[in-house]
């Protein structure tokens, strides 16, 4: 199934922030307790990311058996979370934090447990505070591995925020955001 998603005609190209890691360099997690990438989240997915060209990132996810939906395959909500995380990480290349405004997924093929997914995410353009992104997933290791076959795609709209957006929740969580785009300057 394909979406009717269309990009605005007046999109501006993404401008990579000067503090974003260089091509091939690992990206820091944006918050240690993030379900998608945090290393201080016992139940989390612990995705890892590297910077790509321009406003692009590549993420990896091991499809653990705890992510099972149907028999022997990933749950669609886990794949949705992985796409959300990857596209959000691409947005950090702009040098500001974002929140998800809209996310849609096209599931193309079943993804077996024990696979390693690689998700390539990019910013398609910006319009004021809106950031339009797209991503695709491929199985690069494990059962049915074929890096040439896209097993899912996603499109999303993110909205730029400043660090003050998270001020109201600080009293409920331990730790602070760790990604520079989410830290308020003095």
136-150 mean pLDDT: 96
Q: Give Cβ neighbours of residue 133 (< 8 Å, ≥ 6 apart).
A: 87, 90, 91, 121, 122, 123, 124, 155, 156, 157, 158
Give yes or no: 84 in active site: yes
* pTM assigned to the model: 0.88
User: Residue 1 — pLDDT band, cuts 50, 70, 90?
Assistant: low
Calpha distance 86→151 (Å, rounded):
15
114-119 mean pLDDT: 98
Establish how many alpha carbons lie within 13 A of residue 115's alpha carbon, considering only the half-sphere containing its beta carbon: 25
Domain 48-182: give its CATH code.
3.10.129.10
Arithmetic mean of pLDDT over the chain? 89
Residue 45: is its pLDDT beyond 70? yes
Which one of the listed residues 10, 39, 84, 148 is annotated catalytic?
A: 84
């Amino acid at each position: 199934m394909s979406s009717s998603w269309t990009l605005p005609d007046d999109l501006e190209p993404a401008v990579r922030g000067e503090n974003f890691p260089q091509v091939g360099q690992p990206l820091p997690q944006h918050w240690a307790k993030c379900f998608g990438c945090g290393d201080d989240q016992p139940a989390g997915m612990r995705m890892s990311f590297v910077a790509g060209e321009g406003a692009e990132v590549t993420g990896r996810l091991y499809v653990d058996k705890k992510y099972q939906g149907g028999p022997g395959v990933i749950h669609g909500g886990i794949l949705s979370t992985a796409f959300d995380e990857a596209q959000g990480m691409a947005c950090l290349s702009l040098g500001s934090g974002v929140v998800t405004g809209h996310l849609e997924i096209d599931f193309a093929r079943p993804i077996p447990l024990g696979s390693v997914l690689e998700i390539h995410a990019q910013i398609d353009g910006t319009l004021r505070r809106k950031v339009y992104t797209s991503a695709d997933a491929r199985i690069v290791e494990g059962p049915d591995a074929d890096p040439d076959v896209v097993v899912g795609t996603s499109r999303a709209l993110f909205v730029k925020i400043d660090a003050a957006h998270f001020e109201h929740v600080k009293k409920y969580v331990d730790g602070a955001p760790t990604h520079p785009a989410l830290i308020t300057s003095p």
